[in-house]
Amino acid sequence: MKRNWLGLVGPGALALCFATSLAHAAERSVAQRVEQLMGQMTLEEKVGQLNQLSGKEFTGPATDKVRSMEAEIRGGGVGSMLNIKGVADTRRLQALALQSRLKIPLLFGLDVIHGYQTVFPVPLGESASWDLEAIEESARIAAREASASGIHWTFAPMVDVGRDPRWGRVMEGAGEDSYLGARIAAARVRGFQGARLGGVESVMATAKHFAAYGAAIAGRDYNAVDMSGQLLHETYLPPFKAALDAGAATFMNAFNTLNGIPATGHAGLQRDILKGAWGFKGFVVSDWGSVREMVVHGYAGDLADAAAKALTAGSDMDMESNAYASSLAAQVRAGKVALAQVDDAVRRVLTKKFELGLFDDPYRFSDAAREKAALGDPRHRQAARTIAGKSIVLLKNEGGALPLRRGLRSIAVLGPLADARRDLEGGWIVKSNAASMASLVDAVRAAAGPATKVRYAPGCDVACRDTGGFEAALQAARGADAVVLALGESWDMSGEAKSRADIGLPGRQGELFEALRAIGKTPVVVLMAGRPLIFEHVAEHAPAIVYAWFPGSEGGHAMADVLFGDVNPSAKLPMTFPRTMGQLPIGYQQYETGRPVRDEKNIVYKSAYIDAPNTPRYAFGHGLSYTSFAYRNLQVSQPTMGAGDKITLSFTLANTGQRAGAEVVQLYLRDPVASVVRPLKELKGFQRVSLQPGEERTVRFTIDRETLSFFDRRLAWTAEPGRFELMVGAASNDIRLAQAIDLAP
């Protein structure tokens, strides 16, 4: 990635130099303290710092396993715990660690994926906002709540590029695009970590899963990955590099094999790229049990062999495999693992503990008063409502079906998710607060006002295996002035180990929609899910479709805000929505074939399906508004760019509708002729622009050599001279303006 070096002069430069010198002095101080401590450590104590255990058992009565773990902590055999949260429990276990010989404090880690107590939209949904400030804010609030509860470290963000919606973990990421994913990865790292490590309202971030986990074959979780070096470097690694550049303190390796080698034991990834070429100074933690699983993969002969291969490959901390704790010291003494590599791993872990200030005050993150204040702050719920509103995508809106008018006599809110609360939170939450949440029907009642009668009937549960409840839903709809139908997944249908072979609407949900159509009450449809779904019949016939994802603690109110027009939707899809299962995987970054489809009616000897359209249902970047936007007057500052030049692309964006709104304008690039075939489009920039009715604004993008660069056949990052096509639009399939430029030799 490009680095910009600025030549600074004057008072500002002197201030920056002074701050930099202080930072370097602090680094030297930490390094000196680390070396002094390591000089006192036995090999077993060093290995202990690389051992992470789960503390779920501590939530119940004391057992032999609990007592054994307590003894291990007191003996200096544990460096980190996960699944311990709250001031009381983190202080209690930290006190045990301080009984060890060297009194090295524990790190407490937790999966704070999209909120701690306040739940924000699932990361894929939040990514639909394309609002980097909002995404950073949600991570900052999550860090504030988690750090006040004794947590030092979150296992987030997940920055895996995901292009197959059958893979349930697309819910945790930013979608299919490497550029968008990189920008969002950096925003989340900044939100979690704040200005620096050690701030008591920040937590260490973890960029995971390194690497290529999102390309699991057939979208089946934990499955193998097989890909070219070019695809790895160009698509799957950039979000990780962006997270590193943003200061991510830790990385987590992945469950999958990459071209036959488990990521946990992949020296090419961890030693050569991450710690070598990229210069990563933090530490790498394994995923849960992934060191042990190298035996199951057939890459290690036993647990001791797995420990040796993982540590040697660059995996610093062992999460819940007991591989390092049980055998690493013996492997060092047997000469199978270099002590220098163990020391390097320990040095990395201890450095983060010093940087967090834990040696100066082991309890500084466990403050009961701060915990109470952070978890009770009403501003957090308001932020969750605002961000959820920005994440909801208006997929379709015909005939002015939305927004709903206030003053209607009656509204029917129907469907298996109409009164859902727990499902609004999605998966990977710390603790459900469903009792404090408003469902969609609750929120519609509140938004519509007392003069409007709101009727509710579920029709069926989410699985929707029978039609026994349909008649009650039809009866509720018959006398209503408007009908809203809430369909989709339950919270536990997306996430880890939640791959689906069929991502259509569950059960007979589609039949409920058709039954309403049959009585002349075609509903506005609200869809909730953690992934793109296939719903072709609904897409064809519903007048309006709102995609709410799993929108979080304030999701009910956020959905009502959009339905009634209190929030003008502005979200754009971070993943392509297919029409059929047979199209998977599908994305906007297609490559031209030698026999491309130019005309959907002519598919003879073309790169085409003969039994289905070749276009997606909804393209990457798609999302509608209650207002309209015009793109006009595209200009470039110069038609040809020299090696060190920059070109400014500018155009006028105008709000031509009757409502204030925000448009996410998208810049795409095509390199038509190159030494390696390039995609038809690549996202290279975006801006979120808010305009009042009738307002217009000049939008500018800067194009430099970096924008035009790619990895060539030798995996060199280069820009080749020639013609490039620049495209600006509202979606990857909705290009409004285009202009060619040339890069001079």
How does pLDDT run across 384-411, given as a tens digit for each residue? 999 999 999 999 999 999 999 999 999 9
pLDDT of amino acid 652: 98
Mean pLDDT of 342-355: 98
Count other Cβ atoms within 10 Å, centred on residue 676. Answer: 13
Cβ partners under 8 Å of residue 639, min gap 6: 740, 741, 742
Strands 482-488, 524-528: pairing kind? parallel
Contact (Cβ atoms closer than 8 angstroms) between residue 728 and residue 651 = yes
pLDDT of amino acid 329: 98
> What separation, in Å, do the N-terminal and C-terminal C-alpha atoms of the chain show?
21
407 residue type, one letter: G
- Does residue 15 carry a pLDDT above 70? no
DSSP letter for 196, please.
S
Q: Tell me how far apart the alpha carbons of residues 546 and 128 are, in angstroms, rounded to a whole number.
A: 13
- Does residue 60 carry a pLDDT above 80? no
Contact (Cβ atoms closer than 8 angstroms) between residue 79 and residue 51 = yes
Which domains can be identified in the chain, with CATH numbers?
Answer: 379-577 (3.40.50.1700), 629-743 (2.60.40.10)
- Does residue 186 carry a pLDDT above 50? yes
Mean pLDDT of 308-333: 98
Q: Is 522 helix (H, G, I), strand (E, B) or coil?
A: coil
Q: Which two tokens stand for residue 655?
A: 């709000």
Adjacent-strand bridge partners of 689: 663
Contact (Cβ atoms closer than 8 angstroms) between residue 565 and residue 660 = no
Strands (E) across 497-570 are located at 524-528, 544-547
Contact (Cβ atoms closer than 8 angstroms) between residue 583 and residue 609 = yes
- Does residue 59 carry a pLDDT above 70? no
74 residue type, one letter: R
% of the chain surpassing 90 pLDDT: 92
Q: Tell me how far apart the alpha carbons of residues 523 and 384 are, in angstroms, rounded to a whole number.
A: 27
Q: Which two tokens stand for residue 375?
A: 């978890």
- The owner of tokens 């709101």 is 454
pLDDT of amino acid 217: 97
Adjacent-strand bridge partners of 699: 651
Catalytic residues: 287
How does pLDDT run across 84-124, given as a tens digit for each residue? 999 999 999 999 999 999 999 999 999 999 999 999 999 99
